[in-house]
């Protein structure tokens, strides 16, 4: 079966011609033509290198090595190519690249993968070089055809011109000849002062398709004779199937089979409704002998026992112990508990498997690390990796959920497919409940903070203990547990940060902004308390602790300026501030908050200043800051995955693990600091500052510091 056989029952995407969905399109030396073009055909695409294809209709298609799940790599990477190619933005397109850990490696990871807000950061020069290379090959082809020196040819807005002979052409006319040219070794890149597209607010390439319904996600792929599979998972982490009764499940019309899997019990059906009804009809006895049976409260109590034990040293400067012994000190202590957090992307995990006539298998999924998925699928299907093609699809968010060591989701999905023998195409699906209760959470953390202030109002000592799971599964220090604390941006002469790695059967995973989700909150609320204790302004006090020329100070000043910090605030409101560096980007935020009618914080406005180096596309940067603020705000106000009595997972869907509502979203103003530094990430850095900024405003309003998240749970208790 090929993509020509696939129909999208929900969207009818085959109606359009020329659409290239996210399937394997090989680099120049692997393939001369794309696969996966929907029925109806389209322009011939000729590869000029592994990242750029020129269409006979003048379109330029960029092969994105990074998955597009809303954060903007299709547009960002295409901008880099278009800038050096001197293309017109209207002719740019983007699709996902094939899976190849070498050709399409993330240059920061050494393998193909998206994460750490690294898409633009790692590909900035690589994609510009791809564009410059393609331009040089087009110019060489035109010079050869027109019999003129290449040095006399110019390219502007997608048009190749030779002024002396008055000759002009689009890219498509020379695509074939250009593809046969020898690529230059080191094409010259533009001086940033000459940029035409980089720095402009260009419209996103994927917006139109996502708004008119033609964009293709994994869920849309529905080949003929498709089998649907769902798995019944335990409600306790670490539990396994002891026994099950599938008699009632098999009576459900449309249910085809039921099989026990390592992860639970799989139900196979002809349609989604039957699969879900069949799963509901299963009677499963779970073995809890190795399950986590402690509640979240019991875990918090156990975590606190580590506070006074020697930990893994992350930072130890000066002499903290002696500093706390000095006379005339004011000492502040705080213990802060952070809950488990689910990622809750709008699209839960899913994958489609289709066996080809030669026995090879195509896998369609929103692959964040497609090489890992390919390896796991090949192993479970008993095939060589070359016989498994992972075709990355657009995905409805991730926030870290799809970036997993060992691809545990693919382990389940591929095993479920393998158990069928592969006679029918199969779609493996997780529901929202599977996702919320499926683990791979941002771990639960507990922090103990201690600070000392001398008689002159100076912070002289800072001690911080962090307790939680190691996301990297390390026995020694995990830098992701302490990032943002171990490299405290504020000058404190005596600083000590330690951590303790707890071991749970609950699988941990990075969550949007990773360690900064908790260290940013702990550091920024605690420094605020220290400054307020001695009567210092939160902005001026921070600036006094930062190097004057630091980028932290730059975004802090800008955010304060935007908010007119120090001016009179409307009655019943207060403002809080925070500044956090993550993934090489610096973000300062000011939040204006009041007490809502329900007694919870009502956030009215957030002013955000970001320094992320050269702003490739300001439109995307602003969108990511706005989205990060909404995402982070929802988490700090409302979200927690809790374990109840006996360790049972209590939340299941958006009614009890909810996102921020549209009427709760504050007005957000974003300004980007002009910079000549290389671009850094923007997908995650907007998240960490909003929580502490809101908490600091809340403390001003109520006098109560926030020691436990989410805030609404603290209020209700």
Contacts of 640 (CB under 8 A, 6+ apart): 296, 339, 340, 341, 651, 657, 709, 710, 713
Residue range 104-123: average pLDDT? 96
C-alpha distance from residue 681 to each of 94, 329, 614 (Å): 20, 40, 11
Element (H, E) at 712: helix 711-716
Q: Which residues contact 568 (CB under 8 A, 6 or more apart)?
A: none
Percent of the chain scored above 70 by pLDDT? Answer: 94
Over residues 224-233, the pLDDT tens digits come to: 999 999 999 9
DSSP annotation string for 79-120: HHHHHHHT--GGGEEEEEPPP-TTTT-BTTTTBS---TT-HH
What's the rounded mean pLDDT across residues 71-75?
97
Residue range 677-689, pLDDT digits in tens: 999 999 999 999 9
Q: Report residue 701 as tokens.
A: 């309003």
Determine the longest span between alpha carbons in the chain, in angstroms: 86
- Which tops the pLDDT comparison, 130 or 6? 130
- pLDDT score of 714: 80
Q: Dig out the tokens for 198 from the structure.
A: 């980089």
Quick: pLDDT tens for 306-352: 999 999 999 999 999 999 999 999 999 999 999 999 999 999 999 99
Name the 3-class secondary structure at 661: coil
pLDDT in tens, 488-547: 999 999 999 999 999 999 999 999 999 999 999 999 999 999 999 999 999 999 999 999
Q: What is the structure's pLDDT at 35?
A: 29
In the predicted structure, residue 46 carries a pLDDT above the cut 90: no
Question: pLDDT (tens digit, 9 = 90+) per residue, 279-300?
Answer: 999 999 999 999 999 999 999 9
- In the predicted model, is pLDDT for residue 712 greater than 60? yes
Residue 302 has pLDDT above 70, yes or no: yes
Does residue 18 have a pLDDT over 90?
no
pLDDT score of 42: 60
Q: What pLDDT, on the 0 to 100 scale, is given for residue 48?
A: 80
Q: What is the pLDDT of residue 34?
A: 29
Per-residue pLDDT at 45: 75
pLDDT tens string 392-413: 999 999 999 999 889 999 999 9
């Amino acid at each position: 079966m090929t993509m020509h056989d696939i129909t999208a029952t929900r969207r009818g995407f085959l109606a359009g011609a020329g659409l290239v969905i996210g399937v394997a399109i090989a680099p120049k030396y692997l393939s001369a033509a794309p696969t996966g073009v929907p029925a109806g055909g389209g322009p011939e695409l000729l590869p000029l290198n592994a990242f750029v294809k020129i269409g006979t209709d003048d379109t330029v298609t960029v092969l994105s090595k990074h998955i597009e799940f809303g954060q903007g790599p299709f547009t960002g990477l295409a901008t880099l190519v278009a800038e050096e190619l001197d293309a017109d933005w209207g002719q740019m397109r983007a699709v996902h690249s094939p899976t190849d850990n070498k050709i399409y490696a993330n240059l920061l990871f050494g393998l193909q993968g998206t994460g750490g807000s690294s898409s633009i950061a790692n590909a900035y020069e690589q994609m510009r070089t791809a564009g410059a290379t393609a331009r040089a090959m087009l110019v060489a082809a035109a010079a050869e055809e027109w019999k003129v020196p290449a040095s006399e040819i110019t390219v502007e807005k997608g048009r190749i011109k030779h002024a002396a002979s008055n000759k002009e052409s689009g890219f498509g006319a020379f695509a074939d000849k250009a593809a046969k040219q020898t690529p230059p070794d080191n094409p010259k890149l533009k001086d940033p002062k000459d940029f035409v597209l980089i720095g402009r607010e260009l419209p996103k390439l994927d917006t139109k398709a996502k708004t008119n319904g033609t964009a293709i996600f994994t869920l849309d792929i529905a080949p003929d004779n498709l089998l649907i599979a769902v798995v019944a998972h335990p409600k306790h982490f670490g539990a396994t199937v002891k026994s099950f009764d599938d008699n009632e499940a098999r009576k459900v019309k449309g249910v085809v089979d039921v099989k026990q899997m390592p992860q639970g019990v799989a139900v196979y059906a002809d349609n989604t409704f039957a699969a879900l009804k069949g799963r509901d009809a299963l009677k499963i006895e779970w073995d809890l002998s190795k399950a986590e049976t402690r509640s979240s409260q019991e875990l918090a109590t156990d975590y606190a026992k580590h506070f006074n034990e020697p930990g893994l040293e992350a930072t130890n400067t000066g002499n903290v112990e002696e500093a706390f012994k000095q006379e005339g000190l004011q000492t502040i202590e705080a213990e802060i508990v952070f809950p488990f957090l689910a990622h809750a992307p709008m699209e839960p995990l899913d994958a489609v498997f289709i066996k080809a006539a030669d026995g090879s298998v195509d896998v369609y999924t929103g692959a964040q690390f497609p090489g890992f998925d390919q390896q796991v699928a090949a192993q479970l299907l008993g095939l060589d990796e070359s016989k498994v093609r992972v075709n990355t699809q657009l995905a409805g968010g991730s926030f870290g959920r799809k970036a997993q060591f060992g691809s545990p989701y693919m382990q389940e999905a591929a095993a479920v497919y393998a158990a069928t023998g592969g006679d029918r195409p199969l779609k493996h699906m997780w529901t929202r409940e599977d996702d919320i209760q499926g683990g791979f959470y941002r771990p639960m953390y507990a922090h103990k903070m201690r600070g000392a202030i001398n008689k002159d109002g100076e912070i002289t000592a800072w001690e911080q203990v962090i307790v939680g799971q190691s996301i990297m599964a390390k026995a020694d220090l995990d830098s992701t547990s302490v990032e943002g604390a171990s490299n405290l941006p504020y000058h404190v002469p005596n600083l000590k940060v330690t951590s303790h790695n707890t071991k749970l059967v609950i699988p941990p995973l990075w969550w949007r902004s990773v360690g900064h989700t908790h260290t940013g909150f702990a550091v920024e609320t605690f420094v605020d308390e220290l400054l307020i204790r001695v009567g210092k302004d939160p902005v001026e006090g921070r600036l006094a602790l930062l190097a004057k020329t630091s980028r932290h100070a730059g975004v802090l000043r800008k955010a304060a300026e935007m908010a007119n910090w120090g001016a009179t605030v409307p009655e019943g409101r207060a403002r809080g501030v925070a500044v956090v560096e993550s993934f090489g980007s610096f973000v300062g935020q000011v939040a204006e908050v009041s007490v809502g009618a329900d007694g919870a914080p009502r956030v009215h406005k957030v002013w955000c200043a970001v320094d992320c180096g050269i702003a490739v596309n300001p439109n995307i940067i602003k969108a990511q800051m706005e989205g990060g603020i909404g995402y982070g705000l929802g988490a700090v106000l409302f979200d927690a995955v809790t374990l109840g009595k006996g360790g049972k997972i209590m939340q299941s869907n958006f009614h009890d693990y909810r996102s921020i509502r549209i009427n709760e979203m504050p007005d957000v103003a974003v300004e980007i600091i002009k910079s000549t530094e290389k671009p850094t990430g923007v997908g995650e850095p907007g998240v960490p500052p909003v929580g502490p900024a809101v908490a600091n405003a809340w403390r001003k309003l109520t006098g109560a510091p926030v020691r436990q998240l989410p805030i609404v749970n603290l209020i209700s208790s």
